[in-house]
Structure 1
């Protein structure tokens, strides 16, 4: 099949590109990173060429906001569209910029999928739940706390209006970690950040009360499986998590066990306390064929060789 992946040089997009290229014709569209940064100093684009090392499909460098990008996609005639491109930084508060890029372009992709009779699988986010009590359930207590989360909720709302015209599946990712996230920089998971602190011999730095801050951590290989299952899923929005809530303290303890270290933790004040999610746990939809396979322990163990490689080749240079 012909498959399009927007944001295909990013974390989840590149995992899909490398996996799907074995049996399909894959076009990756990504803006690719430059020196451009947001007002908070974070990079505007996280797409990195190193995420696509080994990719044998076609890469087209473009902004999804530009009309010429849509023309390139139309000419390619994809049968499946994995739409991952977005401004995903939750600390950006330029509402115009986020909603223009995330929401307005999404409507164009819906129209495109209808015109091409292509299945559209897009990235939603667990951030739409805000401080909703766990487990978080699609359609219940959705209360975004930032423009990014709001843009994702509005994408889900928009998609519902076209369920009778197209194959549209939204995947609400919880805390995804694994190979390919390193180039997200400051927004990479605390799993890789804690691991590199420990490998550098530094005391892991956690927010105070980290033994009471819970997240649903989902491994990239499970996330990849969810995307594949979405191809045949019925229209809708589905949580993609492990279904288990674990603490940040758990991460450090698992890493120290795997790395055979016993460093003391340093506890610091949480500067994001007013906007923080203190407990996330995905309620998985039994009608969705996705079933996570990796526990946090299993995921970290599988990820460790890549973490060590990154420390040697990218961090410790």
Structure 2
């Protein structure tokens, strides 16, 4: 797979996945011109107390491409889009906090901003790769399959499912659009997601602090499809070159328990703390997620390379660095 002087726009580029994409192109494709766009954080919060933006400048430290601050809900964003004239758009900007209850803000930010991007691509022959989510499935039966039994539990999942439906209409018009339903992503540059960062990172920092890991009761029976960030980047790149556009799962297809995460971390960190088991306070909760990866393998040529053990092992040095430089200060 090669890129030849393309102009690439990454929205949400100071966030978790967006920043990893920005650094990927910066490192591997110096001939591309990348515009990293993000609203960046301001300290403003939602009613749940969480930040309105997780974008952080530290995620883009070392990136040599162009960086611009902009809000995708404002007219200025469309001006930037039309002036830059990207050939490929990786659209990661969104409210990704599933606990945000403000439905109007969620729909405005995630859904209303999507159609102008689709229209730009239709008119200019550009390619659009965007972030969908496993939250579109809600409590659907496993393995979760695209276009089967989607039933989102929150407005975030609803907004992403609505984006998927909109994308289909443009695919039918011949526009190159690929939606990627991310399952539980973990890895480098997720720290600034704060409380919404993966439990891999959160458990890791609990253990490094010398605390007993806190898990919900029955965590050995609560399963998630955890996928490492490097596999997620691979899925994005493959989406640019697929001959069959659509919506695809990005996961391993092999669910693991939260207990597995703690056990792997304790092995890698050489600890043996006794776990604390607490009651699950959440009324709406997914107890089992597993992606059906058949179409992702067939049409994207995507298959996760990292097992949970391999991903955590590679992530450990970064977990330690973050604890030393960001947490234990």
TM-score over 0.5 (shorter chain) = yes
Structure 2: any 5+ residue segments left out of the alignment? Answer: 1-5
Deviation of 1:115 (Å): 2.2
Deviation of 1:113 (Å): 1.4
For these two proteins, the number of residue pairs brought into alignment is 316
Matched, 1:171 2:184: no
| Runs of 4+ that moved beyond 3 A | none
Matched, 1:199 2:211: no
Deviation of 1:235 (Å): 1.1
Report the TM-score when normalising by structure 1: 0.99
Match of 1:212 in 2: 221
| Partners of 1:41 and 1:82 in 2: CA distance | 28
| Partners of 2:301 and 2:56 in 1: CA distance | 31
**Would you say the 8 A contact 1:216–1:280 is kept in 2?**
yes
Residue by residue over 1:274-296, the C-alpha shift from the partner in whole angstroms, topping out at 9 and shown as x without a partner, is: 21110001111222211110000
Report the TM-score when normalising by structure 2: 0.95
**Would you say the 8 A contact 1:7–1:30 is kept in 2?**
yes
Structure 1: any 5+ residue segments left out of the alignment? Answer: none
Residue by residue over 1:43-96, the C-alpha shift from the partner in whole angstroms, topping out at 9 and shown as x without a partner, is: 000000000011001111010001111111111110000000001110011111
Residue of structure 2 aligned with 1:267, choices 277, 297, 304: 277
| Partners of 1:153 and 1:207 in 2: CA distance | 29
Residue of structure 1 aligned with 2:258, choices 245, 248, 257: 248
Residue of structure 1 aligned with 2:35, choices 21, 27, 35: 27
Q: Tell me the secondary structure at the aligned position of residue 218 of structure 1.
A: strand
| Partners of 1:288 and 1:30 in 2: CA distance | 27
**Would you say the 8 A contact 1:74–1:116 is kept in 2?**
no
Q: Tell me the secondary structure at the aligned position of residue 299 of structure 2.
A: coil
Q: Tell me the secondary structure at the aligned position of residue 110 of structure 2.
A: helix
Q: Tell me the secondary structure at the aligned position of residue 223 of structure 1.
A: helix
| Partners of 1:56 and 1:116 in 2: CA distance | 27
1:107-118 equivalences under 5 Å are 107-118=115-126
Q: Please tell me the root mean square deviation across aligned C-alpha atoms, in Å.
A: 0.7
Matched, 1:190 2:199: yes
Matched, 1:288 2:300: yes
Residue of structure 2 aligned with 1:302, choices 314, 321, 324: 314
